[in-house]
Amino acid sequence: MTIDIYFFPPSPPCRAVMMLGRYIGVHFNVKTVNVLKGDQFKPSFKKLNPQHTIPTIEDNGFVLWESRSIMVYLVMKFAKNDSLYPKDPEKRGLVEQRLYFDMGTLFHNIGSYYGPVLLGLADQPPEQLLEPLERSFSVLDIYLQDSDFLVGNGLTVADFSIVSSVCTAKAVGFDIGRYDNVAQWYERCKKAMSKCGFEDVNEAGANIFGGFYKANLKS
């Protein structure tokens, strides 16, 4: 069965869902929502999703948004095993914690720091928000000090979510090389996700995002 996905290529959450879906063999019918042109505010889309956010999926009449919820849903319904979203309470608890860390801390701080320039509201990022962003990466580096991936030595949905955030930061000029564990993990993800769109979905979309940002940045 094909699932409709409302998608915008530069969006980190959209990229995470697309890669995860490809990884587990989900076939998407892509419907582009250009948020820069206000497509998300069209009545037809707001009727589907009153929060008018992307990504949004529609699976045989079931509508869901919020990328991390979508990824969990897709894995629970379509994955061949539970490795990406473990049933073990402790492992699942760690996956959930990493997802919430991404949503509430890492992705949030990336958006807060780079967003004003991206949206044309400023010509330089707010200097006072650099420290929280760097602290987020320091915490992420600690998460990765004893394992290949974010929860153990295999991919989980947390890796798909967070690598899209990190890829975005990298594309706008953040130096992830200062964080050894993060940089090594990023390369492992790139290899492990190579057949599900790491380059043509994740990095390509992030580079579009980076281009928007750099076009508005004043030296």
In DSSP notation, 39-72 reads: GGGSHHHHHH-TT--S-EEEETTEEEESHHHHHH
pTM: 0.96
Q: How far apart are CA 76 and CA 20, in angstroms?
A: 12
Percentage with pLDDT > 90 across the chain: 95
Tokens, residue 114: 């780079």
| Edge-first strand listing for the sheet containing 2-7 | 27-32, 2-7, 56-59, 62-65
pLDDT > 70? residue 1: no
The predicted pLDDT at position 219 comes to: 66
| Known catalytic membership, residue 194 | no
User: Are 118 and 217 within 8 A, CB to CB?
Assistant: no
Q: How far apart are CA 123 and CA 120, in angstroms?
A: 7
> How many CB atoms are located within 10 Å of the residue 156 CB?
25
Listing DSSP states for 93-138 in one string gives HHHHHHHHHIIIIIHHHHHHHHHHHHTTS-SS--GGGHHHHHHHHH
Q: Summarize the confidence of residues 4-33 as an average pLDDT.
A: 97
- With cut-offs at 50, 70 and 90, classify the pLDDT of residue 218: confident
Picking from 13-22, 58-67, 132-141, 209-218, which range would have the lowest pLDDT averaged per residue? 209-218
R_g over Cα of the chain: 17
Note the pLDDT tens digit of each residue in 146-176: 999 999 999 999 999 999 999 999 999 999 9
